[in-house]
Structure 1
């Protein structure tokens, strides 16, 4: 029990976006963190990573002072300087680059290290007001969002709390035991109080699948085939709500004819599931009206990911489960917040940025690929907050080659000396979430959470917004936001959005943005102009790379093809104790995870002479890494699972697993095929 807890909110890239109760031991000392009970989705539960946040907050390797590079890029050798010198170095470089190449040669780069409205997205003010290059955020959910948009027409769904009213819950392509632990408490309530059944669809037996009633382990990138065969069965056996389809969708005879040959036998040959498994799952899904489909991101991280997402979203339209409490589907609630960020993001000025660069293509961009930089000037300076692209972005070798350029000014604002920080010309200390104010959208629920500052900043740490404000003012940015504190930016955003004032909302620390039942279940129409769910979407409206996407739900076989020299498929799934590269620095998380492992099917291990807990090599034309083999019957033969984004020092060649991942932009609007990589696998003694 925490005495006199202070409320704040978790900042991390997770759909739970938990409301927290935090123990403040002194003005600069963090104690215990627990989940707050007054936000229903949090329900008093948080993950083990955040519950032990003091280990990260008080870590001896945490950055606390500005530093200047003193050696080669990548060596990570720095000399301490003061903030006045650091700011002068940035301003001098930015002004010279703007004079010689234009402001768009400066790229403010951010990702999901924090998800704050102020501390993450406020960075975009430099682009809008000063004309620096903008950023296109594609590395996480872009294919998933595109596939959902194709059918549903907007980025929202049923309140996940309704899971408690469900009779059949399907978690498809997600592992909430690792990545969304709060969801599991609501699933368990439905199972206990409502006798609900849980099914999990994934490419290996995840921790979530281990506690499920039904588990389907399919081949990566084949979800569209499974969904189509399920629709075939439901249409054949009259498990379809035809009145709903007629009123709320564009389903017609063309779609029905298209699905006639998508039989369970056809899907079995593609997915590796048995015909019996497919038929049984389809019948259960179609016969239980209160079926809740909870869609993850993992299954969309493939070249056909958006197409697969769209095919799966067709299932509740076929059955009409959207009509029922506890029925329908949820992916993310990106569209429910109604936030006015004109001040916080400088949204009230004409955007002066001339180009928006794809964050997932950072390697190609920094290496000067003309298409990636949109035939504009080269990027000559990059300011990085909330991101560790040298480790997390795809094609790591190319990213590091770009960061190594001596003519590229690299400024990194961070908590730790990450792989990316080692390439910095300037390395600056950033506050953690308890040391600044912010506002967070709970994309896995309906609560807008308030992240209150409860501790004084450590040593000389500055918040992201503070640094952006200082730079904006020194560079002549003419906008009110550069003169407001973090707290004032939060308050202004709440007031402008009609949510109330920060002072009145601090006690509860969250705002319920839940939609009405009819709106969240699309009983007033889906998000498309005609109000219909689209079985036949206009992919060209979603993104520029849509030419080859199937016109109707299907299996799109455009995956990274296995070959004789690369006969295996790699899936890089999330680890429970890490969040991308966050928490990898703590001894507790490292102890719980052990070391990087490759989960290998016994059939493959026997054929290759691989013993359990022996070292193996996996690789492709991009690189090679060493992992410890875990021989488990957890995925289908030919599939290798590697959980977690691990720091360089855990690998023999001192570079992580994303060196193997392609950075090609995938259809229709970009993204990364993290779970779609053809590789070779060899016992350690067999590697050349």
Structure 2
């Protein structure tokens, strides 16, 4: 890299606002694009005036000179590309962080042109989620509808209930009882924040169904486990990239293994058994309807074609504008203003941090990051594959050499990473590329090879024993702080065992018959 901005985790919003300050104050914006296609530039300019690189330096740990250099580099080289991962969405500042970052390509004109952000051709309509079929009064019962309008309410593009609110309702019955749960391909005990609360919530259900490929620790809790199909056992209509749909593929079923069924067919069969008004058609019929909505062919024709790639056009906004009330990119969002949200991006310090909670930082001086992808696995999946486990047999936490030396630990030592919520045991990996004030803990770990209990070692090295699902929440999206939390690293001999629930005295499993690991 010409400039490496190794920022403090959880301060991406401050960095983006400071870069906007530089671009606007130095007149590096694409004035023609801004004048024609952006709404609220003057308001944005006024908002970021106080967010100077000097203001951002102590917050982000990035020097003011580096922030200026990065902003100038991004603005002056056209086209430019801005990419990010899901880490920026794992704090309560999620929504405004994303909006601040979105302003960078917008004011520099890096929108829908070669080498910059592009909008897809979108030859398919949205997958029919049937939200429009649900009566308005029923939609308002969606948990989170009133509190998180961008996630669950009137501003939601893909309305979803708020998970912490669902979990609270399961445990308390407020605002109404939730007595049964249905989990599709989600090892919740390994991948949800605050694993202890996730366990207590699932155990509070009267009835739990898990549709899974493998007998995970979460599936072991279920009253009923349904065997689901792999990608080779399903017909599917993938359109890539996800929000672009520049290529549509006919993914065709090649094998049928035992009674495995794809997720959509399970849902459709439930609708048939309940005799619902909608949702009883097989997936192939849904695919056919989606294709014929805008194209002159259906599912069978696409299977013969293999794939379809529409002709690509750049600068599509020149024909119809942008899908906003003003027809422009709204740096100042009119819809957010109407709904009572701040229409401009802003900075918010993470609720648990050296700045917000210095007394906690005195006991837990390191900043925790977790969730980085491990090339050999996908989330908590594939730990039972011997070939993959050869490449990553045990969980590792990354420490800077100086941090490891100060703690008196070495590469390969087992340590306990601890937060105020719990403990997680992993092996030390020395990595000079991480900031000495930060520790990275791998997530998704469990041990399928451990057959003596149904938890398969899920509590020993569980990164989400350290994380939280507690408020404060992002008022728009309901996100909570999964990263940039405070932690410490302790030698194993100086630490207590991680929390684990009581287990059944007897345990019978047929996993050896159906999973590759133990064969």
Same fold, TM-score > 0.5, yes or no: yes
Q: Deviations 1:494-551 (Å, cap 9, x if unpaired)?
A: 22443521121114433336763222x667533321123233335746988x5xx6x5
Return closer, same or farther for 1:311/1:412 CA change in 2, 3 Å cut-off. Answer: same
C-alpha distance 252-339 of structure 1, shift in aligned 2 (>3 A): closer
Deviations 1:205-260 (A, max 9, x none): xxxxxxx5543211112122222222222233332223322222234444334333
Alignment gaps of 5+ in structure 1: 1-211
The answer for the alignment partner of 2:10 in structure 1 is 221
Cα distance in 1 between the residues matched to 2:96 and 2:378: 26
Residues of 2 paired with 1:609 and 1:652: CA distance?
A: 27
What residue is the counterpart of 1:454 in the other structure?
253
For the 8 Å contact 1:360–1:671, the answer to whether it is kept is no
Map residues 76-475 of structure 1 onto 2, 5 A cutoff: 212=1, 214-322=3-111, 324-327=113-116, 329=117, 336-339=122-125, 341=127, 345-346=129-130, 349-351=133-135, 355-357=141-143, 358=161, 360-361=163-164, 362-368=166-172, 370=174, 375-376=175-176, 378-405=177-204, 408-442=206-240, 443=242, 445-447=244-246, 449-475=248-274
The answer on whether the counterparts of 1:446 and 1:513 sit within 8 Å (CA) in structure 2 is no
Q: Which protein has the bigger strand share? A: 1
Q: Using a 3 Å threshold, how does the CA distance of structure 1 residues 381 and 543 change in structure 2: closer, same or farther?
A: farther
Q: How far, CA to CA, are the matches of 1:420 and 1:614 in structure 2?
A: 29
Offset at residue 444 of structure 1 (A): 6.0
TM-score by length of 2: 0.79
- Which residue is 1:533 aligned to? 329
CA contact (8 A) 2:238 2:251 kept: no
Contact 1:339 1:493 in 2 (8 A): yes
Q: Distance in 1 between matches of 2:21 and 2:295?
A: 47
CA drift of 1:632 comes to 1.7
For residues 536-685 of structure 1, the aligned pairs below 5 Å read 536-537=332-333, 540=336, 546=341, 552-562=344-354, 563-572=361-370, 573-647=372-446, 653-654=459-460, 656-664=462-470, 665-685=473-493
Cα deviation digits, residues 126-178 of structure 1 (max 9, x gap) = xxxxxxxxxxxxxxxxxxxxxxxxxxxxxxxxxxxxxxxxxxxxxxxxxxxxx
1:624 Cα shift? 0.7
Between the aligned partners of 2:373 and 2:335, the Cα distance in structure 1 is 29
Offset from partner CA, 1:54-97 (integer Å, 9 cap, x none): xxxxxxxxxxxxxxxxxxxxxxxxxxxxxxxxxxxxxxxxxxxx
Contact conserved, 1:526 with 1:533, CA < 8 A, in 2? Answer: yes
The answer to whether the 8 A contact 2:113-2:315 is kept is no
List gaps (5 residues or longer) in structure 2: 144-160, 355-360, 449-455, 497-519
Deviations 1:347-389 (A, max 9, x none): 674456663343632543432362xxxx12x121112223222
Q: Hey, what's the Cα distance between the residues in 2 that align with 1:636 and 1:616?
A: 19
Over 3 Å counting, the alpha-carbon distance change for 1:281 and 1:676 in structure 2 is: same
Task: Mark the CA change 1:575 to 1:667 in structure 2 (over 3 Å): closer, same or farther.
Answer: farther
- Give me the CA root mean square deviation: 3.0
Q: SS in structure 1 opposite 2:217? A: coil
Q: Which moved more, 1:304-313 or 1:560-569?
A: 560-569
TM-score scaled to structure 1, two decimals? Answer: 0.61
Q: Are the equivalent residues in 1 in contact too, given 2:331–2:344 (CA < 8 A)?
A: yes
| Structure 1 residue 463: Cα displacement | 2.5
Shift of 1:568: 1.8
CA distance in 1, matches of 2:308, 2:250: 12
| Number of residue equivalences | 459
| Cross-structure match for 1:517 | 314
Q: Secondary structure at the match of 1:449?
A: strand
Quick one: distance in 1 between partners of 2:40 and 2:140? Answer: 41
Distance of 1:613 and 1:400 partners within structure 2: 30
Asked whether the equivalents of residues 499 and 511 of structure 1 are also in contact (C-alpha less than 8 Å), the reply is no
Equivalent-residue separation in structure 1 for 2:172 and 2:312 (angstroms):
45
**CA-CA distance at 1:615 after TM superposition:** 1.5
* CA distance 1:256–1:337, shift in 2 (3 Å): same
Residues 313 and 468 of structure 1, relative CA distance in 2, 3 Å threshold: closer
Paired with 1:526 and 1:258, the residues of 2 have a C-alpha distance of 23
Shift of 1:288: 1.0
SS in 2 for 1:580: coil
Asked if the contact 1:542/1:669 (under 8 Å) is kept, the reply is no
Q: Relative contact order (C-alpha < 8 Å, sep 6+): which is higher?
A: 1
